[in-house]
Amino acid sequence: MNAININQDKLHALVGMAVADMSASNGGVMISIGHKLGLYKAMAGAGPLTSAEVAQRAGCAERYVREWLNCNAAGGYVIYHAAEQKYELSPEQAMMLAEESSPVFIPNAWEVTASLWFDEAKTIAAIKTGKGVAWGDHHHRLYCGVAAFFRNGYQAHLVPEWLPALEGVVSKLEAGARVADVGCGHGHSAIIMAQAFPKSRFWGFDVHEGSIEAARENAKKAGVADRVTFSVAKAGDYPSQDYDLICFFDALHDMGHPDVALRHAAKSLAPDGTVMLVEPFANDKVEDNLNPIGRMYYAGSTALCCAHAISENGTHVLGAQAGEGRLSELARANGFTRFRRATATPFNLILELRR
């Protein structure tokens, strides 16, 4: 390449951006390690601590902990008090890094990133050949990471915000409704609803047997196994039972035949039933999704969402950034006459479908 055509300022900016990305990638590994070793929990609410004190509280080796702390301080995830050579976790940092029930608890997200690296060869092969990679063929860290990452968001928003945004659904759930969770994964969404609405019954369906096994265990631990049933089934052939509510939590866009899934949902609803479609937040135009959240979702879409849809010989490959317009067209073409955005978060669209 002719160096005379290179804009040095633009080049340096690009290199700086790449270095920042590498720093963030390595720092993410440190966040995951800190979570698993209990280092953040050891610091939460304790005020300024020396590296030796952090190590002792977490039962770890000080020399490693000192470097780990410095990495976190360099990234802004830990406060460093230079005069005292001590480290501190602020309440905000603790909420994100130490409180596992917090809606912004983030360490588990790097399990998904780890799975992307483990499955790099599969993704490369898929891109070269055009073949798919089924959800169940990914590294096991994907399933735990996705479940844990989404669980806290559902816990924070599903019952207090999303369900009330749907017309007449909460009153049905309070009285006793029949609910299907299609593509339920580890079952957290169904379990959260079952805990909030003890008069209702819930059925969760997923094609991944390992996730269904995990969902059953989670239901037992939560004390709702008597009201929540999990089964291995496809989105187009689970039992039709006149459900009052059918939910798709971050699942429809992964399916190779979302049209079949929607037609089956329309057929399986009670006469005045509702479909709640929760999808990754996306605008309808690519240029409006060119931001950090869009970047994250497009990466997942490349390696996970599109790959699974293609593995099903999909007639549709929606991807994680399908957008409200495409989803509306798909719903209206497959049995639904009413479609509206009920609410949204920076990470999700919550859409209401009715026949």
Same domain, 253 and 131: yes
* Residue that is last in its domain, among 68, 97, 126: 97
Flag whether 231 is in a domain.
yes
Same domain, 164 and 258: yes
Residue-wise DSSP of 113-129: HHHHHHTHHHHHHHHHH
Same domain, 56 and 146: no
Q: CA-based angle 337:157:239, to the nearest 5? A: 50
Domain of 322? Answer: 109-354
pLDDT in tens, 255-280: 999 999 999 999 999 999 999 999 99
Strands 269-280 and 348-354: antiparallel
* Residue that is last in its domain, among 71, 97, 123: 97
Flag whether 346 is in a domain.
yes
Same domain, 235 and 208: yes
Same domain, 87 and 129: no
Same domain, 181 and 323: yes
User: Are residues 167 and 188 in contact, defined by beta-carbon separation less than 8 angstroms?
Assistant: no
Same domain, 36 and 175: no
User: Other CB atoms closer than 10 Å to residue 285's CB: what's the count?
Assistant: 10
Same domain, 93 and 176: no
**Which residue has tokens 């059925």?**
203
Same domain, 82 and 115: no
Flag whether 323 is in a domain.
yes
How far is 198 from 52, CA to CA, in rounded Å? 48
Burial of 328 (0-12, 13-18, 19+ CB in 10 A): middle
> Can you give the pLDDT at residue 144?
79
Flag whether 103 is in a domain.
no
Look at the alpha carbons of 240, 244, 249, 251 in this order and tell me if their dihedral is positive or negative. positive
> Can you give the pLDDT at residue 2?
57
Flag whether 102 is in a domain.
no
Same domain, 290 and 230: yes
Same domain, 154 and 90: no
User: Other CB atoms closer than 10 Å to residue 4's CB: what's the count?
Assistant: 5
The count of structural domains within the chain is 2
Flag whether 196 is in a domain.
yes
CATH of the domain at 13: 1.10.10.10
3-state secondary structure of 193: helix
Same domain, 224 and 311: yes
Radius of gyration for the chain, computed over Cα atoms and rounded to the nearest angstrom: 22
Task: Output DSSP code: residue 46.
Answer: S
3-state secondary structure of 278: strand
Residues in the chain where the model's pLDDT stays below 70: 1-3
CATH of the domain at 348: 3.40.50.150
Flag whether 216 is in a domain.
yes
Query: Which one-letter amino acid corresponds to residue 332?
Result: R
User: Are residues 255 and 279 in contact, defined by beta-carbon separation less than 8 angstroms?
Assistant: no
User: Are residues 183 and 253 in contact, defined by beta-carbon separation less than 8 angstroms?
Assistant: no
* Residue that is last in its domain, among 97, 119, 134: 97
Flag whether 128 is in a domain.
yes
The alpha helices in 176-231, defined as continuous H runs, are 188-196, 209-222
